[in-house]
Amino acid sequence: MMIQQQGKKVGLPLMNLVRLNRTPILKQLHLEEKLLRKSSTNWCIINDGTDTPAIVMGISGKPSELLEIGSVLRDQVPVIKRFTGGGTVVVDKGTVFVTLICNKDDVPGVQPYPRSIMSWSGLLYNQVFKGIADFQLRENDYVFGNRKFGGNAQSITKNRWIHHTSFLWDYAEGNMAFLKQPARAPEYRM
């Protein structure tokens, strides 16, 4: 509480940092949604990998359009529909998840709409990946050059927003076969 008050005096909001290791992605998503809707402070959650491979779709994802259902059923891969928009990803122990949950007024210069949030997160990750392999935020994806290595998604509520990313630190090629090519591709890949 003291730190919070002191922080407020300096004029900067506080952020709680949560470090997880191999926490199941479903549990992480439950936690995130709860924090978004019920908490009133800012959070940064970092999860180093999930325990078993899983497929995570956006809120309006339709399995028949996005997944090779036969393979998914055969290999009994869990399919999760998350509460944010965006696309589909296969995650496993090689995925690094980074989530930012903020009050709309707390981040200087950031307005609660997707482009503004992503401008800011792009800058943040620019610092992280400085000098590495031409990192950019291109349209909605985090890329090295024109190779996407992290997708992201948002949910914006009345007073808060969440921006979360799955960075593919490593991935199993075989797992990618569970996903169909999406109907829409970003312009930079055309």
Partner 1 sequence: MMISRRIWQKRPPTSSWIFLRPYTSQISVPSPSPSRFPVQTPSLIGFLSSYAASSFRSVYKISSLEMPSMVSRCCYSNHALADLPASGIVDVPLAQTGEGIAECELLKWFVKEGDEIEEFQPLCAVQSDKATIEITSRYKGKVAQLLHAPGNIVKVGETLLKLVVGDSAVPTPSSDVLESVKPPGSENSPDSKLNKDTVGGVLATPTVRNLAKLYGINLYDVDATGKDGRVLKEDVLKYAVQKGAADGPSTASVSADCREQLLGEEETYPQTFAEVKWYPDDKTVPLRGFQRTMVKTMSMAAKIPHFHYVEEINCDALVKLKASFQNNNSDPNIKHTFLPSLIKSLSMAMSKYPFMNSCFNEESLEVILKGSHNIGIAMATQHGLAVPNIKNVQSLSILEITKELSRLQQLAKDNELNPADNSGGTITLSNIGAIGGKFGAPLLNLPEVAIIAMGRIEKVPRLSDDGNVYPSPIMTVNIGADHRVLDGATVAKFCNEWKQLIENPELLLLQMR
Using CB under 8 A, list all residues that contact partner 1.
3-4, 7, 10-20, 42, 58-60, 83-87, 104-105, 108-109, 111-117, 119-120, 122-124, 126, 136-140, 151-158, 180-183, 187-188
Say how many C-beta atoms besides its own lie within 10 A of residue 8's C-beta: 11
Nearer to partner 1 by C-beta: 11 or 40?
A: 11
Distance CA 146, CA 141 (A): 10
Nearer to partner 1 by C-beta: 94 or 129?
A: 129
- Lookup: tokens for 171: 């991935």
**Are the beta carbons of 57 and 88 closer than 8 angstroms?**
yes
In the complex, minimum distance from the CB of residue 113 to partner 1, in angstroms, rounded to a whole number = 4
DSSP lists the bridge partners of residue 160 as 103
Distance CA 80, CA 94 (A): 18
Nearer to partner 1 by C-beta: 120 or 171?
A: 120
In the complex, minimum distance from the CB of residue 23 to partner 1, in angstroms, rounded to a whole number = 8
